[in-house]
A and B are shown apart, each in its own frame.
Chain A
Amino acid sequence: MSLWMSTHFLTFLVFAPALLGLLLLFFPERQAKVAKLLGLLVAICLFGVSLRALGLVPDGAGWLFLEHRPWFSVAGLPVDYRLGLDGINLWLVLLTTFLVPLTMLATWKSLSKHEGRFAGLFLLLETGVLGALLSQDMLFFYLFWEAMLIPTTFMIGVWGGEDRRYAANKYFIYLMSGSLIWLVGLLYLAIQAGSFAPELMAQAATQLPLHAQGWLFLAFLLAFAIKFPLFPFHTWMPDAYSQAPTAAVPVSMFVKLGGYGFLRFVIPILPAAAARYSKTLAVVAVIAILFGAMVALVQRDMKKLVAYSSLSHMGFVLLGLASLSVIGTQGAVLQILNLGITTTAIFLMIGMLQDRTGTTLIADFGGVASKMPVLTGFWILATMASIGLPFTNGFVGEFLIFNGTFTSGFAWGRVAACVATLGVLLAAAYMLWMTKRVFWGAENSDSESATARLGSDLSFREIAVLIPLSALILWIGVHPRTFLAPSERSVTRLLSDAQAPAPKLAPAPGVVSDSALSEVHE
Chain B
Amino acid sequence: MNIAAWAWLIPVLPLAGFFFNLVLGKKAGKGAVTAAGVGTVALAFVLSLIAFKVMLAAPGHRLEIGYGEWMSAGAFSVPMGFVVDPLSGIMMLVITGIGALIHLYSVGYMAEDKGYGRYFAYMNLFVFFMLLLVMGSSLPLLFVGWEGVGLCSYLLIGYDFAQSDDVPPQAGLKAFLYNRVGDLGVLMGMFALFAVFGTLTIGDILVRAGHLAPGVGLGLLTFATLMFFLGCAGKSAQLPLYLWLPDAMAGPTPVSALIHAATMVTSGIYLVVRMAPLLQMTPVTMNVIAWVGGGTALFAATIAIAQKDIKRVLAYSTVSQLGYMFLGLGAAGFAAGFFHVFTHAWFKALLFLGAGSVIHALHHEQSLMKMGGLWKKMPITAWTMLIATACIIGFPGTSGFASKDEILYLAYLKSPVLYWMGVAGACCTAFYMLRLFTLAFLGEARDAHAYEHAHESPRTMTVPLVILAIGALAATAFGWPTAFGGSFRIEAFLEPSVRYGQSAMEAVHHGGSPALLATISTVLALAFAYWGWSTYRNGLAVAEARAAKWPFLHRLLENKYFVDEGVDFVLIRPLRWFGNLLWKLFDVIFIDGIGVNLPGALTRVAGDFIALFQTGRVRNYVLTMGLGALLLLYVFLK
Give A residues with C-beta under 8 Å from B: 170, 173-174, 232, 235, 238, 291, 294-299, 325-327, 330-331, 367, 369-370, 377, 380, 384, 389-391, 395-396, 399-400, 402-404, 406-407, 414, 417-418, 421-422, 424-425, 428-429, 432-433, 436, 439-443, 478-481, 484, 488, 492
Contacts and interface: CB of A to CB of B under 8 A. Distances in A.
Contacts of B600: 173
B162 A297 contact: no
23 contacts: A173-B600, A232-B595, A235-B592, A235-B595, A297-B575, A297-B576, A325-B74, A367-B161, A390-B144, A402-B187, A403-B190, A403-B194, A407-B191, A407-B194, A421-B184, A424-B187, A432-B177, A433-B170, A441-B162, A441-B163, A484-B72, A484-B73, A488-B72
A268 B140 CA distance: 32
A488 B77 CA distance: 12
Interface string B570-588: 0000011011101100110
A294 B596 contact: no
Residue among B73, B177, B188 with the highest chain A CB neighbour number at 10 A: B73
Given A418-B188, A425-B181, A174 B575 contact: no
A298 B583 contact: yes
Contact of A294 (B147, B181, B578): B578
Please name the 3 residue pairs, one residue from A and one from B, whose CB atoms are nearest each other, closest first: A326-B74, A406-B191, A330-B73
Given A295-B587, A369-B161, A384-B151, A396 B71 contact: yes
Nearest to A333: B73
Contact of B144 (A391, A429, A433, A440): A391
B612 to A, nearest CB: 24
Interface size class of B (residues with CB under 8 A): 35 or more
A441 to B, nearest CB: 7
B505 interface: no
B69 interface: yes
B173 interface: yes
Contacts of A298: 576, 579-580, 583
Contacts of B180: 424-425, 428
Nearest to A239: B592
B87 interface: no
Interface in B579-614: 579-580, 582-583, 586-587, 591-592, 595-596, 600
Interface in B140-170: 140, 143-144, 146-148, 151, 154-155, 158, 161-163, 170
A235 B194 contact: no
Most chain-A CB neighbours within 10 Å: which of B74, B192, B596? B74
A425 B161 contact: no
Contacts of A296: 579
Contacts of B580: 298
Contacts of A432: 154, 173, 176-177
Contacts of A488: 72-74
A2 B277 CA distance: 64
A343 B100 CA distance: 38
Interface in B43-90: 69-76
A296 B586 CA distance: 13
B162 A370 contact: yes
Given A407-B195, A480-B71, 10 more contacts: A294-B578, A295-B587, A330-B73, A390-B143, A428-B180, A433-B170, A436-B173, A442-B163, A481-B69, A484-B73
Contacts of B195: 406-407, 414
A472 B596 CA distance: 38
B51 to A, nearest CB: 23
B22 interface: yes
Contacts of A377: 22
Contacts of B192: 406
Contacts of A370: 161-162
A327 B74 contact: yes
Contacts of A425: 177, 180-181, 184
Nearest to B590: A232
Contacts of B587: 235, 238, 295
B251 to A, nearest CB: 13
Contacts of B72: 481, 484, 488
Contacts, number: 140
B133 to A, nearest CB: 11
B73 A327 contact: yes
A402 B191 contact: yes
Contacts of B147: 389-390, 395
B263 to A, nearest CB: 18
Nearest to B26: A373
A389 B145 CA distance: 10
A443 B163 CA distance: 10
Contacts of A422: 184
A407 to B, nearest CB: 5
Given A170-B596, A295-B587, A428 B73 contact: no
Contacts of B140: 390, 399
Contacts of B69: 481
B115 to A, nearest CB: 9
A238 B190 CA distance: 35
Given A370-B162, A402-B187, A422-B184, A433 B173 contact: yes
Contacts of A330: 73-74
Contacts of B144: 390-391
Interface in B189-208: 190-192, 194-195
A400 B190 CA distance: 12
Given A174-B596, A232-B591, A238-B587, A294 B575 contact: yes
B575 A403 contact: no
A72 to B, nearest CB: 35
A418 B192 CA distance: 10
A417 B587 CA distance: 25
Given A389-B147, A484-B71, A295 B162 contact: no
Nearest to A370: B161
A406 B184 CA distance: 13
B395 to A, nearest CB: 42
A428 B177 contact: yes
A436 B162 CA distance: 11
A86 B596 CA distance: 38
A299 B72 CA distance: 37
B191 A417 contact: yes
A380 B173 CA distance: 13
A490 to B, nearest CB: 13
A325 B176 CA distance: 32
B83 to A, nearest CB: 18
Contacts of A174: 596
Contacts of B591: 232, 235
B188 A417 contact: yes
Contacts of A389: 147-148, 151
A421 B188 contact: yes
B624 to A, nearest CB: 29
A22 B383 CA distance: 81
A369 B115 CA distance: 12
Nearest to B198: A407
Given A235-B592, A389-B147, A390-B148, A443 B162 contact: yes
A414 B195 CA distance: 10
A436 B170 CA distance: 7
B74 A492 contact: yes
Contacts of B583: 295, 298-299
A294 B172 CA distance: 21
B151 A403 contact: no
Contacts of A484: 71-73
A480 B170 CA distance: 34
A104 B69 CA distance: 36
Contact of A429 (B154, B158, B177): B177
A399 B155 CA distance: 24
Contacts of A406: 188, 191-192, 194-195
A336 to B, nearest CB: 14
* Centre residue among A294, A417, A422, A443 by max chain B CB count within 10 A: A294
Given A425-B177, A484-B72, A294 B579 contact: yes
A391 B75 CA distance: 21
